[in-house]
Amino acid sequence: MDIGGVDHGDSRYVQGLKYIRTLYIGDVMAEMEPKEGITNDFVGYEVLIDFMTDRAMYKLQGDIIEIGAFLGGGTVKLARFGKRYGKRVFAVDIFDPGCDKTRDTGGTRMCDIYQAFLQGRSQREIYGETTQGFDNIVTIDKDSKDVEFPEEQAFIFGFIDGNHDPDYVKNDFHLIWRHLVPGGTVGFHDYNFDLPDVTESVNRLIDEHRNEISEVREIEDKHILMVSKRKYTAG
């Protein structure tokens, strides 16, 4: 298959593209129940929720943040989890599917993948349909480089799957990390997969913040890396 002028055979994105096209064309789209957030979570957010649950992170004081919400399926899953514990979910996304021009190892630009998935539909519109009815979702419709939080804002967990350019990976990490409570975790998507600049950027950040990190855990089948912040110690 040719996407963006490059032949990609049966890569994961081509397979995903075929699947998404069947979901978002014609009557199929009308029959979907996007508010359930099942058909448009392309990461598998259950592993994030399991990670937080296993570590009882819901006992920490703070909210949840997601950078790169795409169509909101994962956002809804985080919101359901957070609602049980009185936590908000901040979803940061520029909602411009053409802005991420990072190329994977096959040469495909991420923006071409997103636009092919959408088939001309509005990303923001689908996200809105998916997340409607959740009063604990705070949507920040901005470029993540333009986002700031007040000093008192605290996060227990953050997930980064926004723009895959190294400058954004670094920006998004610092945006969350400076507000992450001790014992909290930041997760990165597309680690050790077909966006090598993402992996290199994450490894560099881990090295730079090694003294602040208590645990690094890779979830290989989901291409996710979890980085946990060290708890304060007495003395």
Over residues 81-116, the pLDDT tens digits come to 999 999 999 999 999 999 999 999 999 999 999 998
Has residue 234 been placed in a domain? no
Specify whether the CB–CB gap between 68 and 164 falls below 8 A: no
Has residue 130 been placed in a domain? yes
How many residues would you count in the chain?
A: 235
The whole-angstrom separation of Cα 112 and Cα 100 is 9
Beta bridge partners of 6: 3
Q: Report helix angle 110-118 to 123-131, nearest 10.
A: 60
Has residue 132 been placed in a domain? yes
Residues of the domain holding 221: 2-229
Helix (H) or strand (E) holding 73: helix 73-83
Measured in degrees and rounded to the nearest 5, phi and psi for residue 126 equal -65, -45
Quick check: helix, strand or coil at residue 109?
strand
Specify whether the CB–CB gap between 50 and 142 falls below 8 A: no
Specify whether the CB–CB gap between 32 and 73 falls below 8 A: no
Q: pLDDT tens across 185-204, in order? A: 999 999 999 999 999 999 99
Q: Work out the angle at residue 98's Cα, subtended by the Cα atoms of residues 97 and 101, and round it to the nearest 5 degrees.
A: 115
Of the candidates 200, 219, 203, the residue with the CA atom closest to the CA atom of residue 51: 219
Count how many domains the chain has: 1
The whole-angstrom separation of Cα 179 and Cα 233 is 18
Other CB atoms within 10 Å distance of the CB of residue 85: 13
Quick check: helix, strand or coil at residue 115?
helix
Q: pLDDT tens across 21-76, in order? A: 444 333 333 344 444 444 577 788 999 999 999 999 999 999 999 999 999 999 99
Has residue 35 been placed in a domain? yes
| pLDDT band at 117; cut points 50, 70, 90 | confident
Instruction: Identify the DSSP state of 38.
Output: -
pTM of the full structure: 0.85
97 alpha-carbon distance from chain centroid: 14
The whole-angstrom separation of Cα 232 and Cα 35 is 39
| pLDDT band at 6; cut points 50, 70, 90 | very low
Does residue 156 carry a pLDDT above 50? yes
Task: Give the CATH number, domain containing residue 206.
Answer: 3.40.50.150
Has residue 46 been placed in a domain? yes
Has residue 235 been placed in a domain? no
> What are 79's two structure tokens?
């919101």
